[in-house]
Structure 1
Amino acid sequence: MDLKQLEHFVAVAEERHFTRAARRLNLVQSGLSASIRSLEEDLGGPLFNRSTRRVALTPAGEVLFAEAQRVLAAARDARHAVTQVHGLARGRLSIGAIHGIAPFVDLPACLGHFRAAFGGIDIELTLDGSRALIDAVQEGRLDLAFTQPPDTSLDGIGSHLFACEGMVVVCATHHRLAGATELKLADLVDETFADLRPEWSVRRLVDRCFATSGLQRRSSFEVNDMPMLLELAAHGLAITIVPESVAAARGRNTRGAPVATATLCEAEEPCWELAAVFKGSSAGEPLVPVARAFLDLLKLPVVTT
């Protein structure tokens, strides 16, 4: 058993889905499956029940999950301690982010922890669209950006993919689609959509999915605010498609009208991805030490695309 196997195990345990875990780890699925099988053989039994659409932990898997998290946290804390010894006494951390990452990363809290650890580092934060953020990283104006990863590999750019999440249809509680499962995109073409503006990665992903399927849809509402998008759906004016965590967070919000969700069939379910993008070395590390330190603080193992 090694740290890499534990990272693979934790990713599957958190995603409850081998395909999404493989995307998150930037691995081919067969390689991830082989790593998990090797770990199970080493430990003498299955760690996952694979009989459902989303894999579930066995009792042995539950025990290992807690221990694996502890071991990986200790390893990353050790690396962070060494970083502090080498010293980041002063400097600047320039971070960019797309809108709407709160369900995945509590960025203000993370920046607060970073300030407590590295009080001499000035912090700058910019919110923008995915393309503008990636350009800023390439040009050296940002050390790190939280955004949808580039559609194609870019020279000198590395990333850590840490959210790969399915998307769901959000609608009013009285809508005909409320609670539906295994929908196909073709089932939605007669509906009125509410969408974010084209510079949002969520919008581009939805547009691309319908275009790939050769389908057209009617978008009558275009907004630049995720809460407004969900309110339009809640009041029955339109349906929308958003990441699962965004819909779940809206469902827990007791203010405003309630919403319902519907799920798409696995073959047509878009996967929304969020990554930390940075200028990377050949070894897969951010070239900027302060960006490395911030990723260590977030307890994110770094991989390249």
Structure 2
Amino acid sequence: MDTRQLEYFVAVADELNFTRAADRVFAAQSTVSAGVRSLERELGGALFERDRHRVRLTSLGRQMLDAARTTLEATERMRLLADSSGGLRGEVRVGIFTNLTTIDLPGIMGEFHARHPLVDLRLGPSPSGSTGLARDVRLGRIDVAFLGLPGRVPDLLYRDLAISPFVAVLPEAHPLAGADAVSVTDLAADRWVDAREGFGNRVTLDRALDTLGIVRRVSTELSDLGEIPRFVAARLGVAVMPQLTVLPAAGAVVVPLVERIDWVLSAVSRTRPSAAAAAMLELLGERFGPLAQPVPE
């Protein structure tokens, strides 16, 4: 029995799919399948029930899962202690937002690499935004994620990074484009452009609008926050976004909101992060400083 076999087992147990598990551990599906079969032979019993339609844990598999996770966590701690130089090794998987260029992500990752050159970085987004990223962290698919959901997701360790007020993004020909401030009530009858359901900014805004009793029509949904102002400029609708996420677009103007609606950007991990994940959280806290708020334009 070796730790790689345990990693394959845990990945398949979380995903209940050998293809997704192989993607998660950066291995061929045949390698993951062979590793699980080898582990089953050593344990003397099946860990999964497999058929053409689904994969399920057996009774033995359910009993083994917590022990396998504990073993992998202990192995990570032992690797750190065994490194006489004190340097971290391994990899850290980071869930990110696409096109959030207001955050110097390359600079942050460059500094992390300078501090921990033996740690590989794996970065990627989730098609369902913050909701998907939170789920991926809880399932162990990724180690650290940027999150923009309101409130707190259970079983996650949080480090809040920034607070950003929502602002209106309007086509420059909109009647309220020249206003000093605009109320979301005044925009309720417009068509809206927004992120897809599950994205943190969408969840936060939907809750605020529900509290205000405002019903809107989202006629255009995007999976890329940075593109929303360009679609507003094309007169597909109005948008209300966290100021931190707004990228300038010709033909679109930003107007402050009358209502105060805040979006909180956090970095999260599991409650017992690996040493590399803990180092990433520490660096993010340093780079953002005390809960940062963008300066109003």
TM range (shorter): 0.5 to 0.7
Residue in structure 2 matched with residue 289 of structure 1 by the alignment: 275
Taking the aligned partners of 1:290 and 1:302, their CA distance within structure 2 comes to: 22
Residue in structure 2 matched with residue 107 of structure 1 by the alignment: 105
Taking the aligned partners of 1:219 and 1:138, their CA distance within structure 2 comes to: 30
* Aligned positions of 1:125-140 closer than 5 A: 125-128=123-126, 129-140=129-140
Does the aligned pair in 2 maintain the 1:88–1:290 contact within 8 Å? no
Report the RMSD for the aligned CA atoms in angstroms: 2.6
Residue in structure 1 matched with residue 245 of structure 2 by the alignment: 246
Contiguous gaps of at least 5 residues in structure 2: 1-82, 292-297
Question: Is 1:275–2:273 an aligned residue pair?
Answer: no
Residue in structure 1 matched with residue 214 of structure 2 by the alignment: 215
Taking the aligned partners of 2:209 and 2:150, their CA distance within structure 1 comes to: 20
Residue in structure 2 matched with residue 71 of structure 1 by the alignment: none
> SS at the partner of 1:250?
coil
Does the aligned pair in 1 maintain the 2:112–2:283 contact within 8 Å? yes
Amino acid at match of 1:263: P
Residue in structure 2 matched with residue 262 of structure 1 by the alignment: 255
Taking the aligned partners of 2:266 and 2:199, their CA distance within structure 1 comes to: 15
Could you state the TM-score of these two structures normalised by the residue count of structure 2? 0.62
Taking the aligned partners of 2:104 and 2:198, their CA distance within structure 1 comes to: 22
Q: 1:152 to 1:160 in 2, by over 3 A?
A: closer
Taking the aligned partners of 2:181 and 2:282, their CA distance within structure 1 comes to: 39
Residue in structure 2 matched with residue 52 of structure 1 by the alignment: none
Taking the aligned partners of 1:215 and 1:96, their CA distance within structure 2 comes to: 32
Taking the aligned partners of 1:173 and 1:198, their CA distance within structure 2 comes to: 26
Residue in structure 2 matched with residue 231 of structure 1 by the alignment: 230
Taking the aligned partners of 1:213 and 1:88, their CA distance within structure 2 comes to: 51
Taking the aligned partners of 1:86 and 1:212, their CA distance within structure 2 comes to: 54
> SS at the partner of 1:101?
coil
- After superposition, the C-alpha distances for 1:247-271 in whole angstroms (9 at most, x for unaligned) are 3x415xxxxx232122212xx3321
Identical pairs, percent: 29
Residue in structure 2 matched with residue 198 of structure 1 by the alignment: 197
Taking the aligned partners of 1:219 and 1:101, their CA distance within structure 2 comes to: 22
Aligned residue pairs total 205
Bigger Rg, structure 1 or 2: 2
Amino acid at match of 1:195: D
Does the aligned pair in 1 maintain the 2:94–2:143 contact within 8 Å? yes
1:88 Cα deviation from its structure 2 partner: 2.6
Taking the aligned partners of 1:245 and 1:302, their CA distance within structure 2 comes to: 16
1:86 Cα deviation from its structure 2 partner: 6.5
Contiguous gaps of at least 5 residues in structure 1: 1-83, 252-256, 282-286
Could you state the TM-score of these two structures normalised by the residue count of structure 1? 0.60
